Amino acid sequence: MADRITYVGLDVHKEESVVAVATGGLRGEVREYGRIANTPTALERLLRKLGGDGVSLRFWCEAGPCGYGIQRQVSATGMNASWFPPSLIPKRVGDRVKTDRRDAASLARLHRAGELTVVWAPDARHEAMLPNWTLAPVVAALQTMRGMVLVNAATLIAELGDLSRFANLRQLMAYLGLVPSEHSSGVSVKRGGITKAGNGAARRLLIEAAWSYRLPARISRKLLLRQEKQPKPIRDIAWKGECGCVRPIASSSGPASPPMSSPPRSTVLMTRSGWAVQTKAFGLALVSARTRVMAACNSTIERNTPV
């Protein structure tokens, strides 16, 4: 086990990164290391210089458009490398100076204090979306729902990844920004619209798909074709979600209008159904994989057993 921990903050750009280092302890030194090129060779050299016997390196970088190469290279060496969203960086009121060096030093200092929020980083297999993508069964299962065709379902899962990483549905809703904002103090309680925090692309997809539920609940021919190869438990969840999303909206000038759904409510219920569909799809996939493994083992035993 390492005796010392060194926290490394990286302000990553397209061509180069600015590095800052913070030693262990809340009052330890925070110093600028310098700039390095965004190449595997330069990063390997940095690891050799900062690491050593009894030293554990912990890297933190902003989640941005420069990919996950740094995180994967550092993790491959056994070191800790994490990503965090820039929107959740604590900032002091009145701080009007922003430079790359200050940003890198701030990352190292906040990392050491435990003030940064980790976000999930997909591995190379997930990011590439290969034909044998591990989440492909989930994409197929999501298409049992109205408004979720191949492009929508694949994009949604590519943005969110494995939904089982969320401990409960509330965490997923908060990640999507589908929870109400609140500004309360003392006895005063004020709640507003949804926070719109987190992954905007996934939230947009869900809202667009939720508009499909403005019509009465039914299974069209195209939807039936997408559902025919899915297990009955998944089809049941999709139908239950469809029935729950649609409700009649009363009209001020006459009787109740045809069944429609309000976009916020439909989006919430559709997210809940999608959560249930993916959970069930993962469970069925694990059972299927376990069955195949057991069959292969039994077949091997039979072939190797002398008659």
Sequence ranges of the domains in the chain: 4-113, 124-295
Q: Which CATH number fits domain 4-113: 1.10.357.10, 3.40.630.20, 3.30.420.140, 3.10.129.10?
A: 3.30.420.140
Q: What is the pLDDT of residues 27-71, one digit of tens each?
A: 778 888 999 998 999 999 998 888 877 788 888 887 776 767 888
Alpha-carbon distance 54 to 284, whole Å? 45
Task: Judge whether residue 152 has pLDDT over 70.
Answer: yes
Q: What is the pLDDT of residues 273-284, one digit of tens each?
A: 666 766 666 455
- pTM of the predicted protein model: 0.59
Q: What is the mean pLDDT of residues 264-273?
A: 62
Q: SS3 for 226?
A: helix
Q: What is the pLDDT of residue 290?
A: 39
H-type helices in the chain, by residue range? 40-50, 69-76, 100-113, 124-128, 136-142, 150-160, 169-175, 200-210, 221-227, 232-245, 263-304
Find tokens 């195949």 and name the residue.
292
Alpha-carbon distance 29 to 27, whole Å? 7
